[in-house]
Amino acid sequence: MTDTFDVTEDLSSSSSLDLQAADIALDAAPPEPALPNGFVLLGLAPELVQAVEDLGFTQPTAVQERAIALALPEKGDDQASDACKQLFIDLMVSSQTGSGKTAAFLLPVLHTLLTQQQQAAADERLAFERAAQEAAAKGEAPPKRPKRKDPTNARHFKPATPGALVLCPTRELAQQVAHDGIDLVKHCRGLRIANVVGGMPYQLQIAKLQNANLVVATPGRLLDLQRSGQIDLSQVQFLVVDEADRMLDLGFSDDLADINHLTEQRRQTMMFSATFAPRIQQLAMRVMHDNGASVKRIQIDNPQEKHSNIKQVLFWADTPQHKRLLLDHWLRDSNIDQAIVFASTQVECDGLANDLQQEGFSAVALHGALSQGLRNRRLMALRQGQVQILVATDVAARGIDVPTITHVFNFGLPMKAEDYTHRIGRTGRAGRDGLAVTFAEFRDRRRISDIEFYSKQPFKAEVIPGLEPKQRFPQTRPQDDRGGSRGRGAPRDSRFEGRGPAPEGRGFEGRGFEGRASGRPAAPRSFADRPPLGAKPARGPRQVGAQSFGQDAPRSEYAGPKPAGKVFVPRDFKKRAAKPSR
């Protein structure tokens, strides 16, 4: 027993020594070399690189790497004035939602503005030192530096002259872009960003516009301030159109044309969006320099490519009440952190939010009819985690960047198929996983087909045990022999497939005049049975009078008195008939 114990003790001690040696070897192993900062390799200013690191990013995404490299000018080109205009390239960038498009256009614009500002400060300092030396040589007093005038004083007021302009279709998106820009310039001294959107007090926005280098605005309020003389767009060098497909739509085409005319002296135009329809691309070429002759197109991911990190499912419903039960089942899932429920109309949005609140959910509504202050407070509550469910219209389909949104529910389908891509892009941001659930009734199968046609991705219909639809719905859009869609129409209903031949007297073969009343098939016709050209067919005895249902009995020549009703009476006869004769 003693020998056995000694051997066991020796084995345990040797194994512990081996583990200690292994730990020492792991500690002594050199750590893996860290990758160099990708934003430094792109040539960005150190102040911007430090701000990006503070946000937790060290490597650019695919769209950022390609767009920033093309948007930045060559080193030393800012010294020239006229020659520099040809060194900036117009860009049209298409990438999926959540891929970092905002930083892709903010970083190069801010870098150029910061470089120009530093160069202007250096030139001003050299000019002051030269003036001081000349004054000392003449024995005069050195010149004084000009004092900064108070911009709030009406006597010192001057219209704002920004160097860059970013246009956004919605207020929420403009505020999101401005917020991201402020985070990027926190280490840049003297670089100011202003946000101009509708629904906010004019005086507050006018005060923020003073000395602003970059303005993020919606077209309507921007043109209002320009017409009132509060902002001057003649010094804009860079024009960025975010969500360009929405901006170039019919609702903003006139405003965008006016802004294009007011900023004709700009040096660079960039357009970013997740979707670019062919019609929108043609309109975008009119805004570019030389009608888009030298524009560079960057397409990272097209809408037809499936979102690898977003799972998309479809649930058919029989009635709106059935769809409401499906939504209630999903909202009680414990895996939901925060979710957005999209509705089709503002009335549906308010009603659904009220119903969810009565059922105990932390839900609020967001749509265009609300005041801007209320919309801002509800979005801030969503970002701070005070609200779990946001019921919104398509006004929230762009610009909502909340990392904790794990689910997107399409309770009401979008009017346009491309808006579906922007809706589901509110989840799965920056490579995270997300889930997009769509509810549709049988009457919505046309819109489902349009979404499938646009995205080239058929829906996979699923069911919930106990909430199965009673009707039979098509699972996917039928394909033709070439592998494409059957067309933009509704898919063929499977309930009408596999039927037998039509009953006698009801098919297309027996729809002659003779077979309509009796149900018997009509006699076959031939060209020989037709009367000669120009001959009038022989008429039988005149049969007049109303026919009763199911009867075809002839009547005599006289049809009897006309039925009572409104008949035409000459006007003069009416006058005579008004006064009866005595």
In a domain, 522, yes or no: no
Same domain, 398 and 419: yes
Cα atoms in the Cβ-side hemisphere of radius 13 Å centred on 147: 3
Confidence of residue 208 (pLDDT cuts 50, 70, 90): confident
The vertex-245 CA angle with 244 and 250, nearest 5°, equals: 110
Q: Is the pLDDT at 531 greater than 70, yes or no?
A: no
| Per-residue pLDDT at 213 exceeds 90 | yes
pLDDT greater than 50 at residue 486: no
- Rounded to an integer, what distance in angstroms lies between the CA atom of residue 428 and that of residue 74? 35
Q: What is the sign, positive or negative, of the torsion defined by CA atoms of 536, 538, 540, 541?
A: positive
- Same domain for 346 and 258: no
Do residues 315 and 298 share a domain? no
* 248/395 same-domain check: no
Q: Which residues span the domain enclosing 223?
A: 38-139+161-302
The average pLDDT across 564-571 equals 49
Alpha carbons within 13 angstroms on the beta-carbon side of residue 109 total: 33
Whether pLDDT at 577 is above 80: no
Instruction: Specify the pLDDT at position 133.
Output: 86
> Same domain, yes or no, for 266 and 394?
no
Joined together, the tokens standing for residue 156 give 């010192």
Q: Which of 264, 282, 302 is the last residue of a domain?
A: 302
Residue 364 and residue 297 share a domain: no
Phi, psi for 430 (deg, rounded to 5) = 55, 45
- For residues 356 and 330, the answer to whether their CB atoms sit within 8 Å is no
Task: Assign 48 a pLDDT band (cuts: 50, 70, 90).
Answer: very high
pLDDT score, position 321? 92
Asked if residue 430 and residue 402 are part of one domain, the reply reads: yes
Q: What is the mean pLDDT of residues 308-316?
A: 87
Model confidence at 235, pLDDT cuts 50, 70, 90, reads: very high
Could you say which of 302, 322, 342 is where a domain stops?
Answer: 302
| Structural tokens at position 16 | 């512990």
DSSP secondary structure of 405-426: EEEEEESS--SSHHHHHHHHTT
Side chain identity, residue 312: Q
CB atoms within 10 A of CB 143: 11
Within a domain: residue 419?
Answer: yes
DSSP 339: E
Quick one: which of 521, 485, 517 has its CA closest to 505? 521
Looking at the structure, tell me whether residues 209 and 322 fall in a common domain.
Answer: no
Question: In this predicted structure, what is the pLDDT of residue 85?
Answer: 45
Read off the pLDDT band of 580 (50, 70, 90).
low
pLDDT of residue 561 exceeding 50: no
Q: Is the dihedral of CA 530, 534, 540, 546 positive or negative?
A: positive
Q: Show Cβ contacts of residue 135 under 8 Å, excluding neighbours closer than 6 positions.
A: 141, 142, 143
What are the tokens at 184? Answer: 């990027």
Residue 24 belongs to a domain: no
- Domain membership of residue 130 (yes or no) is yes
Domain contains 226: yes
Can you read off the two tokens belonging to residue 169? 């279709």
Last residue within a domain, chosen from 436, 470, 490: 490
Specify whether the CB–CB gap between 69 and 261 falls below 8 A.
no
**Is 50 exceeded by the pLDDT of residue 424?**
yes
Q: Comparing C-alpha atoms, which of 430, 418, 416, 480 is closest to residue 455?
A: 418
pLDDT confidence of 475, banded at 50, 70, 90? Answer: low
Asked if the structure places residue 156 within a domain, the reply is: no
* Six token digits for residue 337: 């952190």
Structural domains of the chain, count? 2
Q: How far apart are CA 457 and CA 426, in angstroms?
A: 19
Q: By the 8 A CB rule, do 317 and 323 touch?
A: yes
330 in the same domain as 288? no
Q: What is the CATH number of the domain that holds 404?
A: 3.40.50.300
| Domain contains 153 | no
Same domain? For 121 and 212 the reply is yes
Which range has the worst mean pLDDT, 2-6, 64-68, 406-410?
A: 2-6
Residue 562 domain-assigned (yes or no): no
342: DSSP letter: E
pLDDT at 75: 54
DSSP string, 159-228: -B--SEEEE-SSHHHHHHHHHHHHHHTTTSTT--EEEE-TTS-HHHHHHHHTT-SEEEE-HHHHHHHHHT
pLDDT at 46: 92
Looking at the fold, whether 323 and 297 belong to one and the same domain comes out as no
**Same domain membership, residue 178 and residue 50:** yes
Tell me what pLDDT residue 152 has: 63
